[in-house]
Amino acid sequence: MVRRLILDAAALDAAIPAEVRSLVDLGSGAGFPGLPLAILHPERKVLLIEARERRHHFQRMAIRELGIANVEARQGRAEALPPSSHDAGIAQAAAAPPDAVGLLLPWVRPGGWLIVPGGSRAPRVGHPPEVEVAKIAHYRVPLGGPSRTAWVGRKRA
C-alpha cells in the first residue's frame, strides 16, 4: 500500500510545476494523489472532488485524523459541482484521458496546468484546442518503484 498508493502519489509531484499554489484532484477516490501532495506542500491548497459518498467520508476522516489544514473535500461529480479556479488540476482515474482534460478545464484558471497521470506509457490525450502547451513528464516511484508518465498541458490564457 505504501509504494502503490502513497509513494506513487508523492512521485507525481515531479510533474507539477513549482509555482502551483492551488490544486484540484478530480475523482480522487480515497484521496490519492491529492492527500500525499497536500502533505508534501502545506503551502498549497488542495481540493478533493469525489462522487462516491463512502470515499468522500473516508477523505474527510483522513483529513481530520492527519490534521491536514490545506485540504478540502467535496462530494459530487466534477461536471455537476460549481467549479472553482485553481492553478492546476489532476484527473488520475476520473475518465479516459481525453475526457479527463474536458473535466479539468472548468476547474483550472487560464494559464493553469492540467495533469493526467499515466502508467509507463503516456496517456493519449490528443491536442485539445483549449491547451497551448503540452508535454509528457517522466518520473519514477521511489524505492525501486515503476517508471511513470503524466500528460501536462497549460490552459490557454
pLDDT in tens, 22-78: 999 999 999 999 999 999 999 999 999 999 999 999 999 999 999 999 999 999 999
Domain coordinates of the chain in residue numbers? 2-155
Q: Which of 2.60.120.200, 3.40.50.720, 3.40.50.150, 3.40.50.11060 would CATH assign to domain 2-155?
A: 3.40.50.150
pLDDT at position 7 over 90:
yes
Question: Mapped to the 3 state alphabet, what secondary structure does 137-155 carry?
Answer: EEEECCCCCCEEEEEEEEE
CA 83 – CA 78 distance, rounded (Å)? 8
CA 76 – CA 52 distance, rounded (Å)? 7
CA 69 – CA 90 distance, rounded (Å)? 20
How many degrees, rounded to 5, is the angle at CA 102 between CA 39 and CA 73?
A: 30
Q: How confident is the model at residue 4 (pLDDT cuts 50, 70, 90)?
A: confident
Q: Where do the DSSP E strands lie in 21-62?
A: 22-26, 45-50
pLDDT in tens, 100-139: 999 999 999 999 999 999 999 999 998 899 999 789 999 9
pLDDT at position 93 over 80:
no
